[in-house]
Structure 1
Amino acid sequence: MSCSGVTAEQAGKHFNEFEEEEYGAPVEETDSDSDSEFDFDDSDYEVEDPSIFFDEEEEKEEEEEVMVTRSRSVRMTSTPQKTPRRTPHKSPQRTPQRARARSRSPLCEAAAETRHGRWNTEKDADTAPVLSRFQPKRTPGIQLDVLAPYSPKELFLLFFSADTVKTICDNTNRYAAKNQARGKKYKWVKVDTDELYKFLGLLIYMSLVQLPCVQDYWKQNHFLSVLTPAKVMARDRFRTIMWNIHLSNPEEDVKNDEKKGTPGYDKLFRLRPVYDEILRACQAYYHPKREIAVDERMVATKAKTSMTQYMKNKPNKWGLKLFVLAESISGYTLSFSLYTGKTSSPSEHGLSYDVVMSLIQPSYLGTGYHIYMDNYYTSPTLLTDLARAKFGACGTYRESRKGCPRERPNALTKKSERGSVRWIREGPLVFVKWMDTREVSVCSTIHPAFSGEMVQRRVKDEEKRWTVKEIPCPTPIMAYNKYMGGVDLSDQLIQYYSAQRKTHTWYKNVFMHLIDIASTNAYILHRDLSATKGVQPMSHKDFNVMIASQLCGVDMAGMPKSRATDHTPVPIHAEQKAHKARRQCRHCLQVDKLRKDTSWKCKRCDVPLCLLLDRNCFEKWHS
């Protein structure tokens, strides 16, 4: 009899017939005060796993007793004995060898297999689940007038509006006044909106032109010299703004700090004015297509705060953890949530469950979306609740998660052939295992287990030569590989031109990351607008160059296209002669460490330089 084709009713029926045939009909119980329905005699039949005869609700309570009695035999008899439950009873009629032979009855194996389910293979057909209809709240795509011309600066200002920047200016001025009252010695002039936009433009410029430290951007006549920063803002002014940049009201900060240890304390209070505005703008100007992904990213910092995390598998191992919801195809950041540490009242389902549920907002998204996630988030409870909320979900899972199938018959082993597939369906959930170079486990409420997809892999043949071979690949894993990379794509776009600068203040690190989110999302909007109009979009680099130049007020048309030609030598003092008209050559002093006098200088640079046949410092200085 094939165990895989026996139902629970059939297994029970055959088991009763088998019992009646050998031992006679069972005697009905008449003593209602008995502790157990029957006291099993150990002389007739041995069961390897007695738990299959108990109710599921009693399993947890009986678990310890089952472990204790596993070394003893549990047997059935046709005559009920009114003795204490699980009393050991020795019988000379059966030898241990005979009892062990009985324990391998196919009927018991069938009952266990029917109850727990077995792993199916790729040859077994699976029925695709019924999916919820895709009903977004708005038409997916850009929520702007697609025919209007938007400059890079205008797209960036959708996220950093004038009101938001005005709030930052007011709070920065308050914070600078507070610092000066503490005895800070630097000079401070109130910052206004135009100047703060220039400050943001310089941060984006520095993401494009990367130098070792901030001071290098203002060095003159140096190997690392650049022209733009000095034309936009003085070095000391940039540094004082960086020292004093503050997003929240300092007076309100004090009131919030007094609430530490109470439910009213907000760990993100110093970020709130900008954090909430950027989050609102991310959702206002773009609506995602059906496939979205949830993942986390690290905002690099070693600031001394309870929110700082260490994740050894991330490129930035130290930092603040940001949970992100992004569109899978474009990488557009839709929503985010900064992890603030363990709470005093943890949720019933855990952090990973709460994160996904907080990022998925039906009031904003709609229903019918397909959510992809990694094994940190995936659990049967989460996927079932998402299915009830009319969201499909797919993700890798950890076998240790509660509700995931373990120790089922016909499972994959380490010796399973590459491309082997195993799957189990439990209601809307399908659990799939696939053997690639290692075992991959995925759970989904969207896909059938296997639809005939094949992938190519390089393997060694019998003669140890590398060859390309097609192997089966489950449908959920194909979809996971295609759509899970939304947050990774967003991270990649951000890391190309990141405005992050080294600082030990955690909220400044997050503020600069919000600038990265704004500029990256603005570029994705530009790319989609260009596709709608049928024109070629700018590259990511050129788009950021335009944002920086327009914020700084630098006219790109007026920038020199080649080196200026008005570097001409002129006498230092034409009316004076001999040594009175001489000054020390700058090139000889800085490069050769020599003191050489010259009567010539560069008209444009106003730098004294030697101009002799055997010592032409003028040419060397400008080359």
Structure 2
Amino acid sequence: MAIPWFRVFPPEPQRQHPFGFDDNAGPRNIPAQTTSPYAYFSLIFNMTLIREIVRQTNTPDGHFKPLLDFVNRMFKKYYVPQREVSVDETLVGTRGRTAMLQYIPTKSHKFGVKFWVLAESCSGYVVDMCCYLGKVFQPSPVGENQGTRVVLDLLHRSNLLEKGYHVVCDSFFCCVDLAKRLLEQGTYLTGTLRSNRKMPVLIKDAPVGPGETVYMRQGNVLTAAYKNQRNGKKAVRLLSTLATADRRHGMPDIVKSYNKNMGGVDEADMLMSFYSNNRKSVRVWKKMVIHIISRVLLNSYVLYHNSTTERPVKSRLRFCQEVVEGLANDHIAARRTGIPRPREEVHRQPILLEKLPGRKERDCSVCSDRQHSVRRRCKTRCTRCKAGVHKLCVARHVCTIIEDTDKLRKTSYVFQVMF
């Protein structure tokens, strides 16, 4: 019941206030009173702050991290994944000099930069991805499996916890501790287990023959050991908090669930390999940017495929072609209407040189600077602005030609009439 309001007339008697105040206010933990002003400034702006700024800005992914963070936000803004999602790693092949370089002998590239990827199992739509910077910049938490931390971070960033999602991952990520922690946050898990992970002894040393399965359960956590009937040399150990100890059509349900839903990231990598945008580059960050843009192109096709009403649905090749045509529309429209391009685009046009008449010479507009007593003469000039330019300085020359405004207006009118 709410406390009623009472009207009060002065003078009101003193009241006992329930909260006391610690009157120990003012400066604390400061140096002696005779210290210099610089010491007071260094209390706040000290080397700890400088180290933190360097740590957050001087990272190997500093060139492409803003782009990666932006596309991750867009991935989650325009698509809500189905219940089954998979977590896996992908390797962007490169041998460039970078602290992010990883060696994975089981991958086709073997050397490259590793990304942790959370993708929808049925379509391969990438919900979130993050770059692994290496042990120096991202050390594993003490007493915690690295795969556990990766899965929890990806799900937390994607806002998929407490919603009943079913996560499928391989033996690098899966463990009993991760399964229990996800259950506490309303999320299911299915995956394979490595032999060195914690599990019941009966599952670890399961005496199973070809086609046989052994189950053990602890609350909602189900573990199993299964050996394939055809080529089962070793028993496969699995864990699930969603599947049951059932067998249909000759294969356990837990194995079927894993095989069906594990390939989301691999499917996305396969689709990207069909129309690869990989280019050789000395700069590692440029290759990462190209990879991120390729992910954007693939995700945009999944959005188109699931929402379009066109019949028949365009193929992925035709979709990529139309995206390129759409990016070039502004440039093509400018050429057809006769609208002059900006000066910076005019600068990129091929620059032609002509020889000065006779034995005349001019200062090179690129490498000559009389204000700093640097005078370098040349015998060639730009055909547009007539400025002196060496043959070796053409690539750095900025043409300063300024066309007449009336002439541009007349040219634009003529092109509009013609087209």
TM interval, short-chain normalised: 0.5 to 0.7
Q: Confirm or deny: 8 A CA contact 2:128 2:158 kept in the other structure.
A: no
Q: Confirm or deny: 8 A CA contact 2:245 2:252 kept in the other structure.
A: yes
**Deviation (angstroms), 1:268:** 2.1
| Change in 2 beyond 3 A, CA 1:409/1:442 | closer
Question: Paired residue for 2:89, among 279, 293, 296?
Answer: 296
Distance 1:260 1:391 in 2: 36
Q: How many pairs are equivalent? A: 277
Question: Is 1:329 aligned to 2:122, yes or no?
Answer: yes
| Change in 2 beyond 3 A, CA 1:260/1:273 | closer
Question: Is 1:542 aligned to 2:336, yes or no?
Answer: no
Structure number with higher relative contact order (C-alpha < 8 Å, ≥ 6 residues apart): 1
**Deviation (angstroms), 1:543:** 0.6
Query: Which residue of 2 is the match for residue 552 of structure 1?
Result: 328
SS of 1:537's partner is coil
**Deviation (angstroms), 1:275:** 1.4
SS of 1:335's partner is strand
Q: Percent identity?
A: 29
Q: Report Cα offsets for 1:556-608 as digits up to 9, x if no partner.
A: 9xxxxxxxxxxxxxxxxxxxxxxxxxxxxxxxxxxxxxxxxxxxxxxxxxxxx
SS of 2:159's partner is helix
Question: Paired residue for 1:282, among 45, 53, 75?
Answer: 75
Q: Report Cα offsets for 1:290-316 as digits up to 9, x if no partner.
A: 010000101111111111001111122
**Deviation (angstroms), 1:487:** 0.5
Query: Which residue of 2 is the match for residue 495 of structure 1?
Result: 273
**Deviation (angstroms), 1:317:** 1.0
Distance 1:263 1:505 in 2: 21
Distance 1:386 1:508 in 2: 36
Distance 2:255 2:191 in 1: 9
Q: Confirm or deny: 8 A CA contact 2:168 2:190 kept in the other structure.
A: yes
Equivalent residue runs for 1:518-529 within 5 Å = 518-529=296-307
Query: Which residue of 2 is the match for residue 412 of structure 1?
Result: 207
| Change in 2 beyond 3 A, CA 1:444/1:330 | same
Question: Paired residue for 2:193, among 383, 389, 397?
Answer: 397
Q: Look up the equivalent residue of 1:435 and give its one-letter code.
A: K
Query: Which residue of 2 is the match for residue 588 of structure 1?
Result: none
**Deviation (angstroms), 1:440:** 1.7
SS of 1:361's partner is helix
Query: Which residue of 2 is the match for residue 504 of structure 1?
Result: 282
Distance 2:158 2:211 in 1: 41
Q: Confirm or deny: 8 A CA contact 2:75 2:128 kept in the other structure.
A: yes
**Deviation (angstroms), 1:433:** 1.2
Equivalent residue runs for 1:580-591 within 5 Å = none
Q: Confirm or deny: 8 A CA contact 1:434 1:473 kept in the other structure.
A: no
Q: Report Cα offsets for 1:511-550 as digits up to 9, x if no partner.
A: 00011001001111110112xx363210011111111122
Question: Paired residue for 1:365, among 160, 185, 191?
Answer: 160
| Change in 2 beyond 3 A, CA 1:555/1:260 | closer
Distance 1:480 1:409 in 2: 19
**Deviation (angstroms), 1:411:** 2.4
Q: Confirm or deny: 8 A CA contact 2:192 2:236 kept in the other structure.
A: yes
Q: Confirm or deny: 8 A CA contact 2:123 2:264 kept in the other structure.
A: yes
SS of 1:314's partner is coil
Question: Is 1:515 aligned to 2:297, yes or no?
Answer: no
Distance 1:428 1:524 in 2: 34
Query: Which residue of 2 is the match for residue 388 of structure 1?
Result: 184
SS of 1:337's partner is strand
Equivalent residue runs for 1:210-249 within 5 Å = none
TM-score, normalized by length of structure 1? 0.42
| Change in 2 beyond 3 A, CA 1:432/1:408 | closer
Q: Confirm or deny: 8 A CA contact 2:127 2:158 kept in the other structure.
A: no
SS of 1:398's partner is coil
Distance 1:473 1:504 in 2: 49
Alignment root-mean-square deviation, CA: 2.5
Distance 1:354 1:432 in 2: 24
Question: Is 1:423 aligned to 2:215, yes or no?
Answer: yes
Query: Which residue of 2 is the match for residue 346 of structure 1?
Result: 140
**Deviation (angstroms), 1:365:** 2.6
SS of 1:552's partner is helix
| Change in 2 beyond 3 A, CA 1:274/1:261 | closer
Q: Report Cα offsets for 1:120-178 as digits up to 9, x if no partner.
A: xxxxxxxxxxxxxxxxxxxxxxxxxxxxxxxxxxxxxxxxxxxxxxxxxxxxxxxxxxx
**Deviation (angstroms), 1:405:** 1.9
**Deviation (angstroms), 1:273:** 2.5
SS of 1:286's partner is coil
Q: Look up the equivalent residue of 2:305 and give its one-letter code.
A: R
**Deviation (angstroms), 1:443:** 0.4
Q: Confirm or deny: 8 A CA contact 1:549 1:555 kept in the other structure.
A: no
Question: Paired residue for 1:483, among 239, 255, 261?
Answer: 261
Q: Confirm or deny: 8 A CA contact 2:76 2:158 kept in the other structure.
A: no
Structure 1's unaligned 5+ residue stretches are 1-255, 455-471, 557-623
Q: Which has the larger radius of gyration?
A: 1
| Change in 2 beyond 3 A, CA 1:505/1:363 | closer
Q: Confirm or deny: 8 A CA contact 1:453 1:473 kept in the other structure.
A: yes
| Change in 2 beyond 3 A, CA 1:529/1:408 | closer
**Deviation (angstroms), 1:338:** 0.4
**Deviation (angstroms), 1:257:** 11
Equivalent residue runs for 1:110-149 within 5 Å = none
Distance 2:129 2:157 in 1: 15
Distance 1:257 1:271 in 2: 22
Structure 2's unaligned 5+ residue stretches are 1-48, 334-419
Distance 1:406 1:263 in 2: 44
Distance 1:529 1:444 in 2: 33
Q: Confirm or deny: 8 A CA contact 1:422 1:433 kept in the other structure.
A: yes
Q: Confirm or deny: 8 A CA contact 2:204 2:237 kept in the other structure.
A: no
